[in-house]
Structure 1
């Protein structure tokens, strides 16, 4: 029987342009430099602006470009290591946790979070919801919502400011003996408030890292952290170590083990 030669699929025009643009970024532009506007770039490469936008969007998804309000499209800096969460076996806010609490409110947990909390979020009772942010070299790396049921932190004082409220919840949480945690990662879209914290547009691609913390035989807290997907990636080592790396000025990497 003779062999059949399969015709190679034709490369989309925007994909070829993405390769050409990537070469130009390496040879002609410095990190942080603002690219010419779309009209100039389309004229330079002889393509329609719709094709150019597709190529730019792909380069942004791959972490080669960053689009910032009031600035434009810039060449992304190299990657640095950003650990996914606190050290294995520790509560949020303990040890070298690099997150900063910026406020806390009491409200019923969203349905998806209530399912994570299980019995700890029954009867639609309000839970303590702490918002935290993580900065690296003065840039927002991630934002997080930490949900803590009242049963996990019964000894809170009253009439606290939002930031004091957040720290009080964390202090009470640290009094519990952490029995374990689990973590999952998925691709999602930035909600309006998260996008604002990350200096992105609503709907921008993000990595959602969801963590449950267990104490006294139940879920004592749950966290949903949002990382920018255009500048973050996941890698796994030989032992299953999970790492999120983020564009920045340093090339060091920090690793942590996922449950």
Structure 2
């Protein structure tokens, strides 16, 4: 078999720079230390700033760096383990799953979510926003979409605050007995609202875990959880459940 074009293609300059920078992070910088500005780094390594930005973006994607509002680019700490596919996730909204309710409202879900729920165009559902923290640091934000059929006994008093409304919806979901679920994981970019909750910049790399819960032969709820890609790495066990575990940082 002949050599392919990809095998003969030279390594991109930014990729080589990423490796050099990674070595420098291990030998010269401490966790939390602020990196020099782009002009200084580009001059040090003799590259264009566009090449430098590509390398820095790749290191951020791999969890080696963090961009922080008002601070700059810092060396990221090791990723933390955050369970995603454990037994607590067998039921949507269970109080033991580590999520903290933030608010809730009635809204029309995005088209992709409505398709998963099987709701009609323009039909409103209960949307519960929750956040998850590890060691006091926000690591994930979730939107839990619940159709009317899943909470038939729900009655929301007028003027009830968002967090209280969220807890009320979650309590109604406690009676639900899911008979299955499926999950999908993909790489995405943080939207403005998620970025604010996760203390990230809009557009930062994130891991999006979409979980669809089934009950009585229909979709009972859909959860869309956005995890900080610099904080978590997802793996899959023998049962197919996803779990976020500490990452081994490459040298």
Same fold? TM cut 0.5: yes
- Tell me how far 1:92 sits from its aligned partner: 3.1
Report the equivalent of 2:122. Answer: 124
Is 1:144 the equivalent of 2:142? yes
SS of residue paired to 1:73 = strand
Q: State the match for 1:17 in structure 2.
A: 17
Q: 1:125 to 1:242 in 2, by over 3 A?
A: closer
3-state SS of paired residue (1:55): helix
Partner Cα distance (1:131, 1:240) in 2? 26
Q: Look up the match of 1:96.
A: 96
Shift of 1:106: 0.3
Q: Distance in 2 between matches of 1:177 and 1:19?
A: 49
Q: 5+ residue gaps in structure 1?
A: 252-259
Q: Separation in 2 of the partners of 1:161 and 1:95? A: 19
Task: Please report how far the alpha carbon of residue 163 of structure 1 lies from its aligned counterpart in structure 2 after TM superposition.
Answer: 0.9
Q: For residues 132 and 31 of structure 2, what CA distance do their matches in structure 1 show?
A: 22
TM value normalised by structure 2 = 0.88
Other structure's SS at 2:81 match:
strand
Change in CA separation of 1:151 and 1:236 when aligned onto 2, cut-off 3 Å: closer
Aligned to 1:114: 114
For 1:212, the equivalent position in structure 2 comes to 212
Q: Distance in 1 between matches of 2:20 and 2:121?
A: 57
Structure 2 CA distance for partners of 1:102 and 1:239, relative to 1, 3 Å: closer
Quick check: 151-160 or 70-79, which moved more? Answer: 151-160
Question: Do the aligned residues in 2 keep the contact of 1:86 with 1:92 (CA within 8 Å)?
Answer: no
Alpha-carbon contact 1:103-1:131 (below 8 Å) kept: yes
Q: How much is the aligned-residue C-alpha RMSD, in angstroms?
A: 2.4
In 2: Cα distance, 1:128 partner to 1:241 partner: 26
Maintained 8 Å contact 1:208/1:227: yes
Q: Would you say the 8 A contact 1:86–1:94 is kept in 2?
A: no
| C-alpha displacement of 1:79 | 2.0
Counterpart of 1:254?
Answer: none
| 3-state SS of 1:67 partner | strand
CA contact (8 A) 2:88 2:94 kept: no
Aligned pair count reads: 244
* Residue of structure 1 equivalent to 2:197: 197
Q: What is the TM-score of this pair, normalised by structure 1?
A: 0.85
For 1:108 and 1:91, the matched residues in 2 are separated by 23
Consecutive unaligned residues of structure 2, counting only runs of 5 or more, are: none
- Structure 2 distance, partners of 1:185, 1:89, is 15
- Whether the 8 Å CA contact 1:86–1:96 is kept in 2: the answer is no
